[in-house]
Amino acid sequence: MNTNTRIVVGYDGSSDSDAALAWAARTASLTGDEVVAVIAVDPRETPRGTAWPDSWWQDIEDQARTVLADVPTVRSRIERHVAQPVALLAEAADDASAVVLGSRGHGAAGEIFLGSVSQGVARRARVPAVVVRVPQNLASNRIVVGVDGSEASNRALEFACARAALTSEKVLAMHAWFPTGVALDRYGYVPPVSGETVEQARSSLDEVVAKAHADHPEVEIESVVRRDAPSRALVEASRDASLVVVGSRGLGAVAQVILGSTSHDVIHHAHCPVAVVR
């Protein structure tokens, strides 16, 4: 059991942050991590620059304790901060095992957790950032991971397999490839040169999956190559997944973007929690 690391959770008392805190607590019950619920209010959001009353903070803390009570064996604590949330959460997670956020919040403190904070933390955190929403298929027992041959996606596959080893789930390693600038022939078929590229993608994916299976022989790993835009393929696969895992950036044109377009799109549109791995 791990007694030295923690999972940091951005918490604001909204139903989405409840889901994030519950996800973190269930994960910590498997890993032995401590759960740290961080209530962060941007000083610009305080009413006329005055401090929020203690009763306001206490109400949110009480709600957090109610969520944590469902997993009583997990070590936990709650922190209050008046600080810029993205910078605070990224820094708080520096030596954590993960940072976890709800997909949206509410009110003066909560609304900032929609989009800007989740994207900002995913860009800046040095550890996996998980954006939690309730899975569309609650019975799903598979983790979907995007694999494109980049180092970030290899680490994403490792993260997915390590989690699957704890949860006894299956892993679907997906390489989505969409040919651009390729004209179809007169019958509507993709030219052979494109087919050869798909075969190369399959060979590369098989090699990566074989290594992952050697490292995690207890995990069942399925692989698939889809001729589709990566973000669209992963979002569609998320309908029957408990978690989607993506690298923070991939190959090609998005490689120079701190948070790649695929990661960005999947965070916003997936039908289950999303983990972004740097």
What pLDDT is attached to residue 183?
57
Could you tell me the pLDDT band of residue 31, with boundaries at 50, 70 and 90?
very high
What pLDDT is attached to residue 99?
97
**pLDDT higher than threshold 50 for residue 253:** no
Q: How far apart are the first and last CA of the chain?
A: 24
List the beta strands (DSSP E) in 83-152. 98-102, 129-132, 142-146
More confident residue, 130 or 191: 130
> Tokens for 49?
């620059």
What pLDDT is attached to residue 201?
83
Domain ranges in the chain are 6-132, 142-277
More confident residue, 129 or 48: 129
| Rounded percentage of the chain residues whose pLDDT exceeds 70 | 82
Query: Is it true that 6-132 and 142-277 share their CATH fold?
Result: yes
Candidates 76, 75, 79; CA nearest to 11 is 79
Cβ atoms of 226 and 147 closer than 8 Å: no
Could you tell me the pLDDT band of residue 198, with boundaries at 50, 70 and 90?
confident
What pLDDT is attached to residue 184?
57
**pLDDT higher than threshold 80 for residue 168:** yes
The CATH number of domain 6-132, selected from 3.10.20.30, 3.40.50.620, 3.30.70.270, 3.50.50.60: 3.40.50.620
C-alpha separations of 202 from 162, 165, 184, 208, 223 in Å: 23, 24, 21, 10, 9
Which CATH number applies to 142-277? 3.40.50.620
Q: Stretch 259-265: mean pLDDT, rounded?
A: 79
What pLDDT is attached to residue 182?
55
pLDDT digits (tens, 9 = 90+) for 204-243: 999 999 999 999 999 999 999 998 899 999 999 999 999 9
pTM: 0.86
Strand partners, 221: 171
260: left (phi over 0), alpha (psi -120 to 50) or beta: beta
Q: Stretch 41-49: mean pLDDT, rounded?
A: 72
